[in-house]
Structure 1
């Protein structure tokens, strides 16, 4: 069991390099908690937040704490200072009358350093509705795009990476032709003869190398982990750093004025092309493909399942790109928050976003899915994620870990991957 935990922990760490790791513990801890154990209320209720400050695990007394309360990512309703009495302060928010999320921030200055934390209360989140709308030609747009892709020969190139192979798994760097470029990724496949299910790993935001999922391949599953930027995924880290600070610095906004040339068109079609590649493998069983990822990868998991009927299962952690137009309606929108800045709120950009918003792909998901996020996520606000999740009519399972921000507990990953493995190996 210890060995199993070590191997999976190493694998999960490599997969999560693109996301924010669980933050380290600080000398002073600011603790904010709602007065309901599941952090969830009904519309019209008043949330109450309890604030404590610990140093050396001892509650501090008689110190001043600044706090603010307001809807997530929006202007605060109130900002005040309160003094801890017997180590605790309790603040009550005004009624929250809509389906959504209310956040309480607290901060304290000790020895010249500021420490802070927050907690987020959900109000009837299963009733959150999207602000984005479905274009009348959405399905036709993507059918035409997939038709364009189908006319491009895949031309796969598989290069064995002996230094990454194990006694049970062969590892390859792969390139395949895609719409306007290539898709690169790391293929891990069992050495033993047989027919196997497959996992497509789609990436979180950023530009980086990838290492593949050897752990799952050693357990009898083909894995294909892809990048989205049309560049090899086995280069020196400095190459990706230079691209991140240069040509690809804000890739998510590139060509957003035109839905036909927006950056993510090639990305979404690249995920379909990755499924084409998996389907072409002699060792694939021809039946079972799961897609999974976190943040941007969570978004791409839902998008790929909505676009491609060959996907059988999806596992999405804190999906980005959900309900992007939320900010235009007075509430939080999804990463990358392009409409939070009025300069980007041009009508043509808003219109383009509708063709790429996770919400509109979620409407077409027809396969079982497992989803997980936290109420405290400040990168992918829960309001935006629920807006997408609530339109899914396929079998779905949502596991909320309220405290988590843009990271996951190991138990959270275990739950998702156990669900996926059981589905693939039933």
Structure 2
């Protein structure tokens, strides 16, 4: 029995240490621009120092493959280079217009490929939008919101006792949205103590998943409402959502793309306003402080909501998608979902319809109208939501704005970014004067 116990104890120990930390790899590639802020003047050269490490020391006699060029565009240079000492300086050159140039490096060893990249920004705060603003943009959305408000909200709230705390009640809420019988679902976290509180709408990234609400905001005295966008309950098991995503809804962002009135995101954008209608109807709301925040698709929805709804007093998007999506028509990166990157995939005649539709839904066109303070966070290395598209939106905002850059982050978020976003939103919602 002692031997068996020793064996089981030792075996369980092996299981517990079998995998390295998720951010650690056997071979590490470091790509470093020669400016600490990764930012350059037009005409200035950006060089990239590349080092391949094993056991934290340069790996000798290794061949790298590198690709250099403007983000999302065809490479300017693509070649293999042998590194005798595990390091090389790659001349990146400059750009003749504001934008971003990326150096991506990969190494293949023992059948596994390792990769890393760095991105140089050239006067990004001078990037101008490519997307056109339709002449009837404001009318289109004003009419859509007005029509949607004629639909009774028909609020339904179900208390979720297992999620409640000593200080917070948590509910699954559904509202009628878009058309009779269609619903918007979300999780409301509401302070139990009587009083008036600011509120924040949390809008989701792409995909289909359950939501759990934000009890911590409510613990801190801020009503929170975290919504889904697919018109289905947000408290089902994960497998239900996996089945939906793999089946009928695996490319929902393309549904109805050829018609601005049938496009999938019309119900989504209207649902965000409906969610604010619900928050502002709560007797516990303080009547003046209303924030909106999200990442990726949720970053776009944050800009959209604030652009339509003047009640919003604080906006905090992280790497917002769906910005300046027509960039590809001007020979530069456009925002996710990259509708126009591969224009050969669409049938003849559909290109014009797509461009027209997305001009009514591009988050940049909503950003033009934002009056509330805006806090952005993103990275130069994002390979899903190009920083070119984010800066195009950031640059058109006329209200007070600030950015919290995590230069090396790709399409993920550091805990420090999440904390900074949350701290900023809390500060803004608890200000006595929201315009400060």
Q: Which TM-score band applies after superposition, normalised by the shorter structure? A: over 0.9
Q: Distance in 1 between matches of 2:70 and 2:194?
A: 55
Structure 1: gaps of 5 or more residues = 1-21
Structure 2: gaps of 5 or more residues = 1-20, 432-436
Q: Distance in 1 between matches of 2:414 and 2:191?
A: 29
Q: Whose RCO is larger (CA < 8 A, sep 6+)?
A: 1
Q: How does 1:215-294 map to 2 (within 5 A)?
A: 215-294=216-295
Q: Distance in 2 between matches of 1:87 and 1:35?
A: 18
- The aligned residue for residue 381 of structure 2 is 376
- Is the counterpart of residue 48 in structure 1 residue 47 in structure 2? yes
Deviation of 1:85 (Å): 4.5
Bigger CA drift: 194-203 or 53-62? 53-62
Q: How does 1:395-406 map to 2 (within 5 A)?
A: 395-406=400-411
TM-score of the superposition, structure 1-length normalised? 0.93
Q: How does 1:99-248 map to 2 (within 5 A)?
A: 99-180=98-179, 181-248=182-249
Q: Distance in 1 between matches of 2:217 and 2:112?
A: 44
Aligned CA RMSD, in angstroms, stands at 1.2
Specify the SS of the correspondent of 1:120: strand
- Is the counterpart of residue 363 in structure 1 residue 365 in structure 2? no
Specify the SS of the correspondent of 1:390: helix
Q: How does 1:7-156 map to 2 (within 5 A)?
A: 24-156=23-155
Deviation of 1:127 (Å): 0.5
Specify the SS of the correspondent of 1:224: strand
- The aligned residue for residue 331 of structure 1 is 332
| Aligned residues between the structures | 405
- The aligned residue for residue 415 of structure 2 is 410
Q: Distance in 2 between matches of 1:110 and 1:55?
A: 11
TM-score of the superposition, structure 2-length normalised? 0.91
Specify the SS of the correspondent of 1:217: helix
Larger Rg: 2
Greater than 3 Å deviation, 4+ residue runs: none
Deviation of 1:88 (Å): 1.6
Q: Distance in 2 between matches of 1:67 and 1:151?
A: 56
- The aligned residue for residue 356 of structure 2 is 351
Q: Distance in 2 between matches of 1:86 and 1:53?
A: 9
Contact 2:47/2:93 (CA < 8 Å) preserved in 1? no
